[in-house]
Structure 1
Amino acid sequence: MSDSDISNNNNSKKMARGLKNRHVQLIALGGTIGTGLFLGSGESIGLTGPSILLAYAITGIMCFFIMRALGTLLLSDLSANSFIEPIAKYLGTTTGFVAGWTYWMCWIIGAIAEVTAAGIYVNYWFPGVPAWFTGLVILAIIYMLNIINVAAYGETEFWFALIKIIAICAIIIVGIVLVIINYKTPVGHASVSNLYSHGFFGNGWQGFALSFQMVVFSLTGVEMVGMTAGETKDPVHVIPKAIDAVPFRIILFYIGALAAIMCVIPWHTITPDASPFVEVFKNIGVTGAAGIINFVVLTAATSACNSSIYTTGRMMFSMTNESNGKFTKKLGTLSKRKIPQNAITFSILIVAAATLLNVLVPKGVFVFIASISTTLFLFMWTLIILAQLKYRKQVDKQGNEDKLLFKMPLYPYSSYMVLVFLAFVAIVLLFRTSSLIALVGSLVWISALYLVKVRGDKRAAKLEK
């Protein structure tokens, strides 16, 4: 099938291809650069010191291979609406069912968390306004943007992501300048020696190993470019460019920003509960530093929620567009603008209801559910690698390797290396009570979905007889 055939496809099940190269690039970047970097990186630095940079470098390389595997799958079938379809094709419909609803749930929880956080960030300027009310207003704006057309979403996300990138570039440039002039701060001088003078491995190898949990979780969402496959103009050229560029840009931004921070402020003086970005700006005398960073994290939270609504709508459409059920059939239809409006509406109503319910539910309950959601991304990454391995074995068996549009470097060793890495991260989760409980909860969720699918298939088989 040629690109022109794809673009001109009038099939009612095919979404409009309105995303440009710059949209896809920034969507993928914006999905992984979240509030965790701006607010939570102080805790990461406190746990392991400058060796957090090495953890990001290793994880970034693994993300590159995961993205390449994803690209191999996406370009194996240009008619697929998302990466869930090749997972179902190569690992079975039951696994595809589990993967689809798991991914949908992950982003629903993500949207609830981010819209709630956005309401709290607005309280910084307007303390009298209830966070849930602000959250619902933001959600309504996001909904309107998502149902106009896919280009409107892409353009909005482009500018949201750009604000975060500008903030990161600013901290990197400031750090370089301060190191060059050996700027004196209240806690010492800005210098590269701050990266190693107080120990590169802050809390030894154990702290370094435990840091991978936070590092991996901060990069969840990198695979979201796989949700844009069905709406990207010229996917054969755009998707490979986005996949090849994003992991290295993530490494640059995360490592660059954290290295700049730790050069300006010795890592052992950084307050774990405070934003290191705010601390840097305060130490060089920038007034209103907290307000500036609050604006950036508000943008980051709104951006992440925007991406979550986009993803949940596309995932629900992908899971229901072949359904014969009365309700699910409506969810699997497209609007006149060729967007899954019904699926977006259903997803956003759930997020809105959960946002209100979140006010009444004890905080610990939601934090636990969010932890399970985050842990499930390990499961999704594993499925991407396994599906890619199955596809490549099929291609090699047929002798069609030369026809591959996008190859996995160092195949098959790179694929197995990623699986070993993901297994290592899963083992790391066992050493903290909170992450251990989340891991067990994830296994319960996956098992329950498998059970639902198997029982549903058995009932369908009986009805056919």
Structure 2
Amino acid sequence: MEKQELERGLKNRHVQLISIGGAIGTGLFLGSGKSIHLAGPSILLAYMITGGICFLIMRALGELLLSNVDNHSFLDFVAEYLGKKWAFITGWTYWFCWISIAMADLTAIGLYTQYWLPNLPQWLPEIIALVLLLSLNLIAVSLFGELEFWFALIKVVAIVALIAVGAYMVVTRYQTSMGPVKISNIWSHGGWFPKGTNGFLLSFQMVTFAFVGIELVGLVAGETENPKKVLPEAINNIPIRIILFYIGSLLAIMAIYPWDSLVTSESPFVEVFSEIGITAAATVINVVVLSAAASACNSAIYSTGRMLLSLAQEGSAPASFTKLTSHKVPGKALFTSALVIFVAVVLNYFMPDQVFTIVTSIATTCFLFVWGVLVFTHMKYRRSMRGKKQHPFKMPLYPLSNYLIFAFLLFIAGILLFSPETRLSALVTPLWFVLLWIIYYFKFEKNH
């Protein structure tokens, strides 16, 4: 049987915006008030450190992907350098990561829709969004790219507008309800570490969650027209984007409002735009966070489908998942993933929100594992290339940067165990890996 090839239907602009969209989630628009409250101005340092580590992870991934552009995902490299068992465990874990992110974002879509239609049952917009996004993913990969392009553009415009408003207010020393806007507002309320080391360290969990999905650009590489040109560009621009979008917007927010006067219950973006007299600010930001949630859910459906396809190609999932539709997309894999995500909508209808928080915390823990495996695979690849010709897009400061990433991932795992909100998830997650190991043993090892 001839191996079917995914359509290379993603253009450069699609990949560039997908890589931006992967790094800007609802965490920034909604969660930034809470994270600022947790750490004060030191949150800027937490974002810079985490962003730097994520850039190194992406450079490791980029080097792997460009070493063989015929491989369609990093899972192919895991199988090649670490073996089939690791590919099985990593692939299913990554699939589960994105399933839980889709669950989270569908719930968010239900909640945001209630801003306009408070009497609408929460599950209804979730079902509509799931059916709509699945349909668009089934048509063509170029349509997924187009949708993601516009979703990301909405987020970028909102952030650039916030930074521009902040700059204008600083220059004109604009008077707000909290006094004049000035740069010194950032540090003049208790210094850079007003909540001490404890607040600074605890903020890393939320900051790390804001970056999950950044590696999605590595998954879309297999469907770009020119991966050798597009991928290095998208990865090398990540630090600039982190500085502009995260650091820029948080600096603007804290210059306008002293960090300790921000309301944690609503988006700081709403507060800022309301302050300058935009009465529709809450509505505008609600559109932005709705598009951010739809964007993340769209990415989740895309990646769960591609992950099942990769798993099936490796023999770790039913062979029927390798079949592509006439539009060159993995139809059965996409539909199956959407069906699992739909179970979450049903559970969300019957079960309380706590279950949901646990699922997203487990996803964060699983992402730490996936990133760790990815970086370890990169090390194995580099060792195998000793004395051979290598391509120019190399991981900077190898192997020191790899060990630095491992240290950071262990540090985040420690924070997850330390925080009462995430401790249970961090302790429960290893059971998932044990379960996968048992399944692999009975399916592939016992009778061979």
TM bucket, shorter chain = over 0.9
The answer to whether the aligner puts 1:268 opposite 2:260 as a matched pair is: yes
The superposition leaves residues 91-113 of structure 1 with CA deviations (integer Å, 9 ceiling, x where unpaired) of 22111111100010111111111
Deviation for aligned residue 1:11: 5.1
2:419 corresponds to: 432
Task: Give the root-mean-square deviation of aligned CA atoms.
Answer: 1.5
Of residues 67, 77, 81, the one that matches 1:76 is: 67
The superposition leaves residues 332-354 of structure 1 with CA deviations (integer Å, 9 ceiling, x where unpaired) of 21112211011011111221232
In the alignment, the residues of structure 2 paired with residue 181 and residue 410 of structure 1 have an alpha-carbon distance, to the nearest angstrom, of: 44
One-letter amino acid of the counterpart of residue 342, structure 1? K
Alignment check: 8 A CA contact 2:123 2:345 kept: yes
How much identity, in percent, do the aligned residues show?
49
1:395 corresponds to: 385
Alignment check: 8 A CA contact 1:25 1:246 kept: no
The answer to whether the aligner puts 1:180 opposite 2:167 as a matched pair is: no
In the alignment, the residues of structure 1 paired with residue 93 and residue 4 of structure 2 have an alpha-carbon distance, to the nearest angstrom, of: 22
TM-score by length of 2: 0.97
In the alignment, the residues of structure 2 paired with residue 428 and residue 150 of structure 1 have an alpha-carbon distance, to the nearest angstrom, of: 38
Of residues 140, 149, 160, the one that matches 2:140 is: 149
Closer, same or farther: CA 173–141 of 1 in aligned 2, 3 Å: same
Closer, same or farther: CA 322–423 of 1 in aligned 2, 3 Å: closer
**Which deviates more from structure 2 when the two are superposed, residues 168-177 or residues 203-212?**
203-212
The superposition leaves residues 225-257 of structure 1 with CA deviations (integer Å, 9 ceiling, x where unpaired) of 121122111111111111111243123201100
In the alignment, the residues of structure 2 paired with residue 227 and residue 357 of structure 1 have an alpha-carbon distance, to the nearest angstrom, of: 29
TM-score by length of 1: 0.93
In the alignment, the residues of structure 2 paired with residue 361 and residue 460 of structure 1 have an alpha-carbon distance, to the nearest angstrom, of: 40
The answer to whether the aligner puts 1:303 opposite 2:290 as a matched pair is: no
In the alignment, the residues of structure 1 paired with residue 277 and residue 214 of structure 2 have an alpha-carbon distance, to the nearest angstrom, of: 35
Deviation for aligned residue 1:324: 9.4
One-letter amino acid of the counterpart of residue 332, structure 2? N
In the alignment, the residues of structure 2 paired with residue 403 and residue 113 of structure 1 have an alpha-carbon distance, to the nearest angstrom, of: 41
Of residues 415, 421, 441, the one that matches 1:454 is: 441
Closer, same or farther: CA 247–447 of 1 in aligned 2, 3 Å: farther
Of residues 208, 211, 230, the one that matches 2:203 is: 211
Alignment check: 8 A CA contact 2:88 2:316 kept: no
In the alignment, the residues of structure 2 paired with residue 229 and residue 82 of structure 1 have an alpha-carbon distance, to the nearest angstrom, of: 8
In the alignment, the residues of structure 2 paired with residue 369 and residue 322 of structure 1 have an alpha-carbon distance, to the nearest angstrom, of: 27
The answer to whether the aligner puts 1:365 opposite 2:368 as a matched pair is: no
Closer, same or farther: CA 56–456 of 1 in aligned 2, 3 Å: same
One-letter amino acid of the counterpart of residue 251, structure 1? I
1:102 corresponds to: 93
Return 5+ residue gaps in structure 1 as ranges: 1-9
Which residues of 2 match residues 201-240 of structure 1 at below 5 A? 201-240=193-232
Closer, same or farther: CA 149–11 of 1 in aligned 2, 3 Å: farther
In the alignment, the residues of structure 2 paired with residue 50 and residue 362 of structure 1 have an alpha-carbon distance, to the nearest angstrom, of: 34
Between the two proteins, the alignment pairs up a number of residues equal to: 447
2:234 corresponds to: 242
In the alignment, the residues of structure 2 paired with residue 251 and residue 216 of structure 1 have an alpha-carbon distance, to the nearest angstrom, of: 15
1:64 corresponds to: 55
The superposition leaves residues 212-232 of structure 1 with CA deviations (integer Å, 9 ceiling, x where unpaired) of 111111111101112112211
Alignment check: 8 A CA contact 2:321 2:330 kept: yes
In the alignment, the residues of structure 2 paired with residue 433 and residue 279 of structure 1 have an alpha-carbon distance, to the nearest angstrom, of: 30
Alignment check: 8 A CA contact 1:16 1:150 kept: yes
2:42 corresponds to: 51
Alignment check: 8 A CA contact 2:53 2:405 kept: yes
Helix, strand or coil: the match of 2:326?
A: coil
Deviation for aligned residue 1:322: 4.6
Helix, strand or coil: the match of 1:385?
A: helix
In the alignment, the residues of structure 1 paired with residue 418 and residue 32 of structure 2 have an alpha-carbon distance, to the nearest angstrom, of: 20
Deviation for aligned residue 1:60: 0.9
Deviation for aligned residue 1:391: 0.5
Deviation for aligned residue 1:75: 1.1
In the alignment, the residues of structure 2 paired with residue 11 and residue 187 of structure 1 have an alpha-carbon distance, to the nearest angstrom, of: 67
Closer, same or farther: CA 283–87 of 1 in aligned 2, 3 Å: same
Closer, same or farther: CA 417–323 of 1 in aligned 2, 3 Å: closer
In the alignment, the residues of structure 2 paired with residue 368 and residue 69 of structure 1 have an alpha-carbon distance, to the nearest angstrom, of: 30
In the alignment, the residues of structure 1 paired with residue 146 and residue 238 of structure 2 have an alpha-carbon distance, to the nearest angstrom, of: 18
Alignment check: 8 A CA contact 1:108 1:312 kept: yes
2:331 corresponds to: 341
The answer to whether the aligner puts 1:135 opposite 2:126 as a matched pair is: yes
In the alignment, the residues of structure 2 paired with residue 11 and residue 156 of structure 1 have an alpha-carbon distance, to the nearest angstrom, of: 31
One-letter amino acid of the counterpart of residue 442, structure 1? T
The answer to whether the aligner puts 1:277 opposite 2:269 as a matched pair is: yes
Alignment check: 8 A CA contact 2:270 2:281 kept: yes
In the alignment, the residues of structure 2 paired with residue 292 and residue 73 of structure 1 have an alpha-carbon distance, to the nearest angstrom, of: 40
Alignment check: 8 A CA contact 1:321 1:333 kept: no
In the alignment, the residues of structure 1 paired with residue 400 and residue 390 of structure 2 have an alpha-carbon distance, to the nearest angstrom, of: 21
In the alignment, the residues of structure 2 paired with residue 368 and residue 60 of structure 1 have an alpha-carbon distance, to the nearest angstrom, of: 25
In the alignment, the residues of structure 1 paired with residue 150 and residue 178 of structure 2 have an alpha-carbon distance, to the nearest angstrom, of: 36
Deviation for aligned residue 1:405: 4.2
Closer, same or farther: CA 405–454 of 1 in aligned 2, 3 Å: farther
2:29 corresponds to: 38
In the alignment, the residues of structure 1 paired with residue 327 and residue 349 of structure 2 have an alpha-carbon distance, to the nearest angstrom, of: 35
Deviation for aligned residue 1:173: 0.5
1:7 corresponds to: none
Deviation for aligned residue 1:126: 1.5
The answer to whether the aligner puts 1:290 opposite 2:277 as a matched pair is: no
Alignment check: 8 A CA contact 1:106 1:376 kept: yes
Helix, strand or coil: the match of 2:173?
A: coil
Alignment check: 8 A CA contact 1:12 1:334 kept: no
One-letter amino acid of the counterpart of residue 410, structure 1? L
